[in-house]
Amino acid sequence: MTPHKTQTVAYVRVSSTDQNLHRQLEAIGPVDRVFEEKLSGGSRTDRTALAKCIRYVRDGDVVRVASMDRLARSLRDLRDIVDEVAGKGATVAFVKEQQTYGRDAEDAMGQLMLNLLGAFAEFERSLIRERQAEGIRIVKDSGRYLGRAKKLTPDQVTEARELVATGVPKTVVARKLGVDRATLYRALVGTPSPTQALEDPAQAAPH
């Protein structure tokens, strides 16, 4: 039987708002194969690329990951994934933490380091989420949080048409009504005023 040729593979995870794939691959370095996950969160069952990576590796292979938080979302998840890879005789190498874990490295100190570093990574993610939530609260309190675009009421659309008809710039009208210019333009184009409808013979004529 032909002996297995050991390989080094990369596991990278990016989301639609976190496009750092190039930075991860640059940190990981040359590998034989890349497993890319495009997922910002979700459960373990949603991570199809991770499942393929674990199925792919064989005894002696190395799975390189840019950092622990790219591989797992919690300490328990981290331990489970490392145990699965190690159970196949492969090792997991974390570039940022400069740590490698596998079947031959399950000593007490190695397990302690894995738990400590995983806990720090989980704590760091919690702090980031808290800072993001706090930032959103601050912006909301200052009245600058966009979220879903504000819509104009029929009365506001009528007021906007009257102001524009008198020569007031649309930018000024939008600012006065508390919406962006795109919202104002859509409102002006999408709902003609009753006066305009009567004045337009094409719209007034019966079909």
Q: What is the pLDDT of residue 204?
A: 42
Kindly list the catalytic residues: 15
Q: Are residues 43 and 111 in the same domain?
A: yes
Q: Are residues 84 and 164 in the same domain?
A: no
pLDDT digits (tens, 9 = 90+) for 87-144: 899 999 999 888 888 766 555 456 656 666 666 666 666 656 666 666 666 656 655 5
Q: Residue 60 falls within a domain, yes or no?
A: yes
Separation CA 82–CA 92 (nearest Å): 7
Name the one residue in this structure whose structure tokens are 């969160």: 41
Q: Are residues 119 and 161 in the same domain?
A: no
Q: Residue 207 falls within a domain, yes or no?
A: no
Q: Are residues 87 and 171 in the same domain?
A: no
Q: What H or E segment, with its residue span, contains residue 55?
A: helix 48-56
Structural domain of residue 87, as residue ranges? 8-139
Q: What is the pLDDT of residue 49?
A: 93
Check which CATH number belongs to the domain holding 76 and give it: 3.40.50.1390
pLDDT digits (tens, 9 = 90+) for 29-87: 999 999 999 865 556 778 899 999 999 999 999 999 998 888 887 778 888 898 899 88
Q: Which of 112, 139, 166 is the last residue of a domain?
A: 139
Token output for 124: 């760091």
Q: Are residues 68 and 158 in the same domain?
A: no
Sign of CA dihedral 6, 98, 71, 28: negative
pLDDT digits (tens, 9 = 90+) for 9-27: 999 988 755 567 888 999 9
Q: Residue 84 falls within a domain, yes or no?
A: yes
Strand order in the sheet with 33-38: 33-38, 8-14, 62-65, 91-94, 99-102
161 CA to centre of own chain:
40
Q: Residue 177 falls within a domain, yes or no?
A: yes
| 111-125: burial string, b at 16+ Cβ within 10 Å, e else | eeebeebbeebbeee
Q: Are residues 86 and 161 in the same domain?
A: no
Global pTM reads 0.54
Number of domains in the chain: 2
Q: Residue 145 falls within a domain, yes or no?
A: no
Indicate the average pLDDT of the chain.
76
